[in-house]
Structure 1
Amino acid sequence: MPLTANHVDRFEASRPRLEAIAYRLLGSATEAEDAVQETFLRWQAADVGRIEVPEAWLTKVLTNLCLNELTSARARRETYVGRWLPEPLLAGDPMLGPADTAEQRESVSYAVLTLMERLAPNERAVYVLREAFDYPHREIADILDISEAASQQIFHRAKKHVADGKVRTEVDEAAARRIVEEFLAAATSGQTEPLVRLLTKDVISVGDGGGKVPARAKAFEGAVAVARFLWGLFKPGEAKRALYGGMPEVYAWTANGDPAVVAVVDGRVVGVMCLEVTPEGITAFRSQVNPDKLERATAHWAAADHGEPLPNAL
């Protein structure tokens, strides 16, 4: 039976929630959009008049599509060039989804999305549905065709795997900008000491270039090693102009709720560096420079009121 306008509207009303779930499950906006579109095709082919709870049906279909994608994605990532990191979403992107609670904000942070790569597909699904969208275990059990007790056990196991012992500091956009500005001032000071003072002793720095842009796959570890690397990274030079087709302008922003450095050349986002901040200092830098994972950020940047770039950042 062809979809009526009311059935299409019903799906479109669910699209933002479905996209936010899919992004958290897959760590990729592009793959999330594909999964939601496939869910629509399944909705289009179904006898929707016989579906008693459309939102539950759509969530079940989407989640299982994402589980299949996660299984195949693991195989693809074994041949991925360099370190795989999630696709960052800039502040204001609707795919970030709900952010009313600390748990919801935490679940989409770049650090947690990266840590969720440790989870088995079922663990990731239970964790996202429970932690970010507050689904009861009874409903999660129905979605995944498991028992309610199994859902509870999987959730506790997943939460333990995601926890890394660090207490993340929540910051608003104004505080994030101050953190990024202080960091960039230290990184461009020509000395490593001011930068070392901002970092924790066990700080790491990792990057994802996807084999298309140079990025070190092995993490830099420790305050001195990371400070030296960042000092070199933010040192002006013609190599950057040649690599990006122009000298990047640098902005203090937020991505996935974290303080972030956004590098832009002629309106094109060429890099997003997310800072993980704890009460002890900055404990991780995760940089996405793979152009395939910055297309949505570029589109969102074009529509954002991003103000002026930071002076003398590069």
Structure 2
Amino acid sequence: MNAEMVKYASGAAVRPSRSERTKIPVKCRRRNQFIPAFLVGTAVLSILSLLYLDIDWVKMASRVPDIGLVFWDLFHLDFANMDLILSSLVETISIAVLSLLYSLLLGILFGMLAAGNIFRLPWLSVLTQSFFTFLRAVPTPVWVLLMLVCLGMGPEAGVAGLCVHTTAFFTKSFAQSFESIPDETIEALEVTGASRLSIFVNAVLPAALSQIVAWAGMRLETNFSECAILGMVGAGGVGYVISNSLQGYDYGTAGVAILLVFLVAYGIERVFVRVKKKFY
């Protein structure tokens, strides 16, 4: 009996050889093969896009110094129209907040229908998710333009257009949050005879509250940024002031408005960071 057999018979652990220790099992070979194909496909699409657009690189390079000049003019802040800027900024914040509040309520309602663990009706969940997937596929500016046709120029169109896309976003996000609740919790309440609505209100919704707050904070920042852009198409707010100022070469006023938009967006982000820390 050799030394290895003695070790095996005595129960001692057999130390693997150096070659065995350096072997690394590869379990995701298909995934590794997909990565080069994805990179090659991306490169091919990029080249085709550049050829189709036929960009005049010489002309674009000649205009690069103009970018610096424009930003230099924006830095020369002009506070003469501060009243107009502040009123339009408050209007933008109001549009973002109202669209968020309305969408929160609708998102919780439709998220309850889209979640597969609340009513346990697969056809209802699939139908709701499919409908709101279509709403999310249409960009927010398109919805705002449609509402401008229906409601006319003004903040009403901005609130309605933002609500459509934000509600679709919340429906998917909240449904995923509701479905993350353990099935054991829901089944335990079902045994007690609680109704579906009671289970949702008393168990599912409180358990997902921290996730709802996180989604709401992120979406408020997004809505505010979109409001600043949508104002340029007639939805009201600070975007309208920025657009008119740039078209009239009043870069000082536009610079003040852009700076305030940045400060408000940063403030919103910091406030919700503190709020989320209270929940975790």
Q: TM-score, normalised by structure 2?
A: 0.27
Computing the radius of gyration from Cα coordinates, the structure with the larger value is 2
Compare the two structures and name the one with the higher strand fraction. 1
Identify which of structures 1 and 2 has the higher relative contact order when contacts are C-alpha pairs closer than 8 Å and 6+ apart: 2
| TM-score of the superposed pair, with normalisation by structure 1 | 0.24
Higher helix share: 2
